[in-house]
Amino acid sequence: MHEQLSTSSQFIGRFHVLLVHLPIGFIILLAALEVLALLPRFKGLAPANRVILGLTVPAVICTAVTGWLLAGGSDYEAGLLVWHRWTGVGVAACVLALFIIERAGWQRTYRVGLGFTLLLVALAGHLGGSLTHGRNYLFEFAPSWLGGRRSTEADAPATVGKNLMSEPIFNAAVQPIFKRYCISCHGPSKQKAKLRLDSFDALLKGSENGPIMEPGDASASLIAKRLQLPPEDEDHMPPEGKRQPTPEEIAFLQWWINAGAPTNQPASSLNPPEAIARFLGAGIANPR
């Protein structure tokens, strides 16, 4: 019975991703109409707010409820999830309060409350995006003065321009690839299938379905198999639409697993083939 309730709650909860944009759009529209209503030619728009606010109330309640249910079976970072949950509930509470205030005719209070609600929506949306895509998703490609990486750094493969032959191989060459392509779904903020790839111990532990790597045998390692599936295959990793490792990076990961998945040894002690040595020693000549 408990399992049936859990399955049902997750089925209902997953509608959150469909519903969440509806109240956001309504709230932004309410704010836009309030601003436009300050201009004489748009005075006639003011009454529309009451109708839109009436639609926002059930939309935001349904969004909050489905989000709460969805979070119950998630693999997201607990702290970030708590903040997102309660900011979402806060948005719903603010909308209910705005409905009451607007009906009471307290326009100044309504406008101030609407501004606060809009800020809370932005915060809840940012937290939701961080849960889904990783903490730095919003600012990853921002200008450097906003904390983003330069576009050349963001677009280049993980090892371009670096000589890694004499450095500990996991931290220097393997982890940057995981960080670039995998950590957003399998890191501290989010662990799809309860898999983390932000440390070697976590990689060895595997996912909720068991080990994903067999040191010494890439052909038997699930992580290597998933990388080589056609992009349109639902089991391909990273999923279609996400940034994909280059063929050189995939070949390097396969070689590393076949070499026994060493951690602290430098690549120079492992006698890598010429292509791998070139990849580690001088980066990739023609990065995509």
Lowest mean pLDDT among 10-24, 51-65, 69-83, 99-113: 69-83
Lowest mean pLDDT among 1-10, 98-107, 234-243: 1-10
pLDDT band at 162 (very low <50, low <70, confident <90, very high): low
pLDDT at 163: 76
Amino acid occupying residue 192: K
Amino acid occupying residue 138: L
The pTM for the full model equals 0.59
pLDDT, greater one: 240 or 140: 240
Lowest mean pLDDT among 42-46, 75-79, 90-94: 75-79
The answer to whether residue 77 scores a pLDDT higher than 70 is no
pLDDT tens per residue across span 196-222: 888 999 999 998 889 999 999 999 999
pLDDT tens per residue across span 219-277: 999 999 999 988 888 888 888 777 889 999 999 999 999 999 999 999 888 889 989 98
The answer to whether residue 134 scores a pLDDT higher than 70 is no
Largest CA distance in the chain: 78
Q: Please tell me the distance from the alpha carbon of residue 127 to that of residue 115, in angstroms, as a whole number.
A: 19
Beta carbons within 8 Å of 219's beta carbon, 6+ residues apart: 225
Domain residue ranges in the chain:
2-133, 146-282
Task: Count the neighbouring beta carbons within 10 Å of the beta carbon of residue 207.
Answer: 19
Question: How many residues are there in the chain?
Answer: 288
pLDDT at 47: 77
Give whichever of 115-129, 161-175, 178-192, 236-250 has the largest mean pLDDT. 115-129
The answer to whether residue 15 scores a pLDDT higher than 90 is no
